[in-house]
Amino acid sequence: MPVTAYAHTNIALVKYWGKRDDGGRGLNLPAVGSLSLTLDRFGTETTVELAPGHASDALTLDGTSRSGAELGRVTSFLDLVRQAAGKSDRVHVSSRNDVPTAAGLASSASGFCALAFAASRAFGLTLDERALSILARRGSGSAARSVFGGFVQLHLGTREDGEDCFAEQVPAALEARLVVVRCATGPKEVSSTFGMGHAQRTSPYFPAWVATHPADLVDAHAALAHGDLAKLGEVMEHSTLKMHATTFAARPPFFYWTPTTLAALAAVREVRARGTGAWATMDAGPHVKVLCAPADAAVVAASLAAVPGVLGVDVAAAGPGARIVRSGA
């Protein structure tokens, strides 16, 4: 029986960047905790169907059959689910990213979260949210957060087996919007996995990133608890700029930003100088996401849409956690 799951994407306000040594066990443990907002826009719908008798898994992504490294990463993840379920069946995975065409916003967060949910159910496992978050994390660190809606923390944890490294929803005394500003088309040049590993190995700023990160999480939590959007925005910008600083100082260096990214950042500063609260964050790509109050979203979106080079803007609010859409034919 096919099982279909949907997961929304999430954007980190306090970033995850870098991994903890797990002795080569493939647990995918982060070097730092993180705090995100699950969006009500954008996500991935994934259907998993057991294919008994087949020799290998099959993957269709956005209507195209995939092989090579893409299929390999999915098969490695499915092996974890097979192991947990005590089964060996191969499966067919069909996945559709619900993002503007070629926007390069498709994130591994919603993808691996939807895959974890659909595959675990297809193999007969009923995982609670925590177990699902731990499983999704093994596919992609950010995927652990998409299990939950709203503001979400991924705990760093201390255990060697990673069982205390899971996400949880964080209650918040504020509402916010994220204006997603598309600054380029096409796939990004440096994957987040490679980028964070390279920065961790070669950037002298990486130790400072890890050392100063816990204070950012404390500040962000306090801002959420007190409904202080300006404080949240300020610490969010601080976190993303420190993350990107590690890439500038890596050897060789690398940059996720394009001239349009910088123009969008300048526009955010101008909006703020005019008295409207707006703060920017960027991930492992050129796009800019702008945090603001719900009442300011239209003004912020219009200002960013007018920046030369910007391809489009979308206003996102807090969205729900992942869900099973269909189970059975």
Residue of 45, 283, 296, 314 interacting with ligand PMV (CB under 6 A): 283
Q: Which is nearer to ligand PMV, 37 or 50 (CB)?
A: 37
9 binds ligand PMV (CB under 6 A): no
Return the number of other C-beta atoms located less than 10 Å from residue 197's C-beta: 13
State which of residues 3, 5, 7, 12 lies at the interface with ligand PMV (CB under 6 A).
Answer: 12
Which of 133, 153, 192, 247 contacts ligand PMV by CB under 6 A?
Answer: 192
Which helix (H) or strand (E) segment is 153 a member of?
strand 151-154
Q: How many other β-carbons are positioned within 10 Å of the β-carbon of residue 154?
A: 27
Q: Does 156 bind ligand PMV (CB under 6 A)?
A: no
Encoded one letter per residue, x for contact with ligand PMV by CB under 6 A and - for no contact, window 21-40 reads -------------x------
Rounded to whole angstroms, how far apart are CA atoms 83 and 52? 16
Note whether 15 binds ligand PMV by CB under 6 A: yes
Smallest gap from Cβ 27 to ligand PMV, in A, equals 13
Distance separating alpha carbons of residues 21 and 160, to the nearest angstrom = 9
Q: Which stretch binds ligand PMV (CB under 6 A): 52-60, 71-79, 81-89, 137-145?
A: 137-145
Q: Are 60 and 70 in contact (CB under 8 A)?
A: no
CA gap 314, 185 in Å, rounded? 15
Least CB distance from residue 228 to ligand PMV, whole Å? 21
Please list, residue by residue across 40-56, b when 16 or more beta carbons sit within 10 angstroms of its beta carbon and e when fewer do. bbbbbbbbbbbeeeeee
- The token pair at 105 is 């916003």
Given the complex with ligand PMV, which of 58 and 196 has the nearer CB atom? 196
193 near ligand PMV, rule: CB under 6 A: yes
Q: Does 284 bind ligand PMV (CB under 6 A)?
A: yes
Which residues pair with residue 65 across a beta bridge?
60
44 touches ligand PMV by CB under 6 A: no
Q: Does 142 bind ligand PMV (CB under 6 A)?
A: yes
What span, in angstroms and rounded, lies between the C-alpha atoms of 207 and 227? 31
Window contacting ligand PMV (CB under 6 A); options: 13-21, 57-65, 77-85, 287-295:
13-21
Residues touching ligand PMV, count (CB under 6 A):
14
E strand map for 15-150: 34-51, 58-61, 64-66, 90-98
Q: How far apart are the first and last CA of the chain?
A: 6
Q: Supply the DSSP symbol for 256.
A: -
Q: Which stretch binds ligand PMV (CB under 6 A): 9-17, 39-47, 116-124, 210-218?
A: 9-17
Minimum distance between the CB of residue 193 and ligand PMV, rounded to whole angstroms?
A: 5
Please report whether residue 140 would count as binding ligand PMV according to CB under 6 A.
Answer: yes
Q: Is 47 in the site for ligand PMV (CB under 6 A)?
A: no
| Minimum distance, C-beta of residue 87 to ligand PMV, in the bound complex (Å) | 27
Integer Cα distance of 136 and 127 in angstroms: 11
Instruction: Tell me how long the chain is.
Output: 329
Per the DSSP assignment, residues forming a β-bridge with 93 are 48, 59
- Which positions touch ligand PMV (CB under 6 A)? 12, 15-17, 34, 108-109, 140-142, 192-193, 283-284
